Amino acid sequence: MKFYFPDSLDQVSPTFNFLTEEHSPYRVRQRDDKYAHEVLEPQPYDGLLVSKAIVDGSVKGAGKYTMPQRQRLYRLGVSEYFRLPANVVTLGDCGAFNYVNEEVPPYTTEEVLDFYERCGFHSGISIDHVIFGYNPKVSDAEVDSSWKERRQISLRYAEEFHARVQDRGNKIEPVGAAQGWSPASYADSVKRLQEFGYQRIALGGMVPLKTQDILACLKEIDQVRLPETELHLLGITRVGSMEEFAGYGVTSFDSTSPFRQAFMDDRNNYHTVAESFTAIRVPQVDANPALKRQVLAGNVSQSEAKRNERECLKRLRAYDQRDESLERVLEVLEEYEQLVDPPKIKINKITGKETSTTRIPNYRHTLESRPWESCRCSLCATCGIEIAIFRGSERNKRRGFHNLTVFADKMHHIKHPHVQEI
């Protein structure tokens, strides 16, 4: 099972000093900052997915790339731009969610194929148009006309895309995009794409679906899927179901979830194969927007907050070296939590049971377990407890990169039933 990581220009700086919170004055981002595959051992993913909408922009406006970055990507190509190892494959797509509210996609097949060719992708996905709903029970006569139209648009673009790849004699692997609103409609899309000549098909629009709905679609698709046809799941992360997905022809998928959970999830920030831990929040007084507002409003004393902030970091580092007790660390963390994010009491409407929003019990579990010490990834080995501290992008992205290695390790244990061992 191949895991693709969607590009969002995420890097970390090897020159960042955790003690001073500063970068080297000689740092040049593009030259010195590193991508996940450059700082991690073992390798965190099998492939990289890059969207045209992220690079070139769409109807929503400019993409995430600056003009110099964009020009450099076109000049060097995707593999050299990202300094990818030879065994990391690349996949281009259009970024359909960036134009989801438009009646028709804002790109032509020629524009998309030009993007794929100029950047030197190994594979490229045809233009698709996301369908806004899922209803397996709706009859063909009752189905929303816009859903039908979006599926037909996706199929028309796919037919044209495959033909143009053949006409150009391009070495890029064409990947057909399938959309649908039910198992039957997805299966019909796959059937049509195979008739166009596709041997690899990406299933789009499934992110909001429940696992049982995805499985229902895969089971229906399997009735028409040819033995040589491989499936890719766009944006799907269901670790517990991947082995079952593989049984229905899924050989690859992409997701940013493991990375984003490092700093977007409320509790599950640091992953291990067995469980997830809560990262220890020590917000920066001068850089955390919510905390700065509290200081400016007079609700929080800046001097007291800074004193607590420094003491939290001091005791955490001492604990990492086994020079500080767990209770003293939790004591100062609780004091800082009370100052910057006072816990609230929530009452369950059904049971009437009271619960607190405090993270201190979660911090206790994280600190007692010391998961960074048993991790075999290179970042945990060099960062120690810093990687488990929720504070600023340098620590948070490193923790996200670490999560990618854990996720990739889980996926590599899944064997595709139709692929024989050599």
Sign of the C-alpha dihedral, residues 21, 24, 27, 33?
Answer: negative
- 194 or 1: which carries more pLDDT confidence? 194
| Percentage above 70 pLDDT, the chain | 98
254 tagged catalytic = yes
Instruction: For residue 253, give the amino acid letter.
Output: F
Instruction: Evaluate whether 173 touches 121 at the Cβ level (below 8 Å).
Output: no
Structure tokens at 143: 């189905």
Digit-coded pLDDT (tens) for 255-287: 999 999 999 999 999 999 999 999 999 999 988
Q: Which residues touch 51 (CB under 8 Å, ≥6 apart)?
A: 6, 7, 92, 93, 94, 95, 98
Residue 300: per-residue pLDDT: 87
Instruction: Evaluate whether 249 touches 418 at the Cβ level (below 8 Å).
Output: yes
Q: Where are the beta strands (DSSP E) in 199-344?
A: 200-203, 230-233, 250-254, 270-271, 276-277, 280-281
Give backbone dihedrals phi and psi of 405, rounded to 5 degrees, phi first: -65, -40
* Length of the chain as a residue count: 422
**So where are the chain's domains?**
46-255
- How much is the average pLDDT of 59-66? 81
Structure tokens at 318: 């001492």
- 196 or 239: which carries more pLDDT confidence? 196
Digit-coded pLDDT (tens) for 95-140: 999 999 999 999 999 999 999 999 999 999 999 999 989 999 999 8
- How much is the average pLDDT of 150-167? 97
Residue 417: per-residue pLDDT: 56
32 tagged catalytic = no
pLDDT category at 418 given cuts 50, 70, 90 is low
Sign of the C-alpha dihedral, residues 328, 331, 337, 339?
Answer: negative
Digit-coded pLDDT (tens) for 287-346: 888 888 888 899 889 999 999 999 999 999 999 999 999 999 999 999 999 998 899 998
Residue 349: per-residue pLDDT: 76
H or E stretch at 382: helix 378-383
Digit-coded pLDDT (tens) for 34-46: 999 999 988 999 9
- How much is the average pLDDT of 375-396? 96
Residue 420: per-residue pLDDT: 42
pLDDT category at 422 given cuts 50, 70, 90 is very low
Q: What angle do CA 338, 342, 346 make, to 5 degrees?
A: 140
Digit-coded pLDDT (tens) for 342-362: 999 988 877 888 889 999 999
Burial 10-21 (b: 16+ CB within 10 A, else e): bbbbeebebeee
- How much is the average pLDDT of 149-157? 98
- Catalytic residue, chosen from 33, 93, 128, 188, is 93
H or E stretch at 2: strand 2-6
pLDDT category at 409 given cuts 50, 70, 90 is confident
pLDDT at 396 over 70: yes
The rounded mean pLDDT for the chain is: 94
pLDDT category at 161 given cuts 50, 70, 90 is very high
pLDDT category at 421 given cuts 50, 70, 90 is very low
The pTM (predicted TM-score) of the whole model is: 0.92
CATH architecture classification, 46-255: Alpha-Beta Barrel (3.20)
Residue 290: per-residue pLDDT: 82
- Catalytic residue, chosen from 33, 128, 188, 254, is 254
